Amino acid sequence: MANEHISSTPRTRLPRHVAVIMDGNGRWAKQRHLPRFAGHRSGLESVRSMVKLCLHYRIEALTLFAFSSENWRRPKEEVGLLMNLFMTALDKEVGKLHKNGIRLRIVGDTDAFSPELQRRIADAESLTRDNTALTLAVAVNYGGRWDITEAARSLAAAVASGEIRPEDITPDALGERLALSELPEPDLFIRTGGEQRISNFLLWQLAYTELYFTPLLWPEFREAGFEAALDSFASRQRRFGKTGDQVEQEDA
């Protein structure tokens, strides 16, 4: 694979976990007088670029928002095409992901999917479960509010069964029951397509994430777009409530 877009200067401050709202596929297609679906298909190439760069920089985790719990509101035809694209991509790419040492995780309310799709998801996850080069998490039928609600329900059940007491409910205890709790929280959030909103993505997990918005549409993001986002991330001072002076002293 050609690596002409990958910068040769070593990067110092890299995120461990990058979370992305891949937005703008429909507008990309519309600009070209193509059906919206052509944008979703072309967007897959940006997914491949990002995965390649994450491997190159040894980034631990990449989470991609592929279908939100609100996306069911789209025309039936588009929902069907998106589901098909997800299923085909899963089938087509899982071997390659496995060969590259990538662990695949699907997060979201998968109960809504056909038994066939649920089985394919489980197979892909179990095939790749021991891989360590990169965790690729794909959020499908995911909603941040759903995620927090599920965690709350699980805590309530644990209290009801006597396993824990109400006073054991802490931010950590709730966080442990959320999707992706096995990963570090996202360091960098990227949204393409120009919109500056979270759209019910990882609400809890993004509490201290650096946010990056770009007008680039998802199919045109590719390696160059990701490099620019990494540059922006590297230039930020993460203070986590402390003063800038404190952080500088710690870094010195």
Please report, as ranges, the residues that interact with ligand IPE according to CB under 6 A: 21-27, 65-68, 70-71, 82, 193, 195, 197, 199
| Active site annotation includes 111 | no
Burial class of residue 12 (count of CB atoms within 10 Å of its CB; 0-12, 13-18, 19+) = exposed
Task: Return d(Cα 184, Cα 18) in angstroms, integer.
Answer: 10
Shortest distance (Å) from residue 4 CB to ligand IPE: 27
Shortest distance (Å) from residue 28 CB to Mg ion: 10
Q: Give the nearer residue to ligand IPE in terms of CB position, either 155 or 202.
A: 202
Question: From the centroid of its chain, how far is CA 123?
Answer: 20
Q: Please tell me whether 210 is known to bind a ligand.
A: yes
| Active site annotation includes 71 | yes
Q: Give the nearer residue to ligand IPE in terms of CB position, either 85 or 159.
A: 85
118 binds, among Mg ion, ligand IPE, none (CB under 5 to 8 A by kind): none
23 binds Mg ion (CB under 5 A): yes
Q: Please tell me whether 5 is known to bind a ligand.
A: no
65 binds, among ligand IPE, Mg ion, none (CB under 5 to 8 A by kind): ligand IPE
Q: Please tell me whether 191 is known to bind a ligand.
A: yes
Q: Please tell me whether 153 is known to bind a ligand.
A: no
22 binds, among ligand IPE, Mg ion, none (CB under 5 to 8 A by kind): ligand IPE
Q: Give the nearer residue to Mg ion in terms of CB position, either 23 or 185.
A: 23
Q: Please tell me whether 232 is known to bind a ligand.
A: no
**Cβ 231 vs Cβ 9: under 8 Å:** no
Shortest distance (Å) from residue 197 CB to ligand IPE: 6
Shortest distance (Å) from residue 22 CB to ligand IPE: 5
Of 71, 100, 131, 200, the catalytic one is: 71
Query: Which residues are the active-site residues?
Result: 23, 71
Q: Residues comprising the binding site for Mg(2+)?
A: 23, 210
Q: Residues comprising the binding site?
A: 23-28, 36, 40, 68-70, 72, 74, 191, 197-199, 210
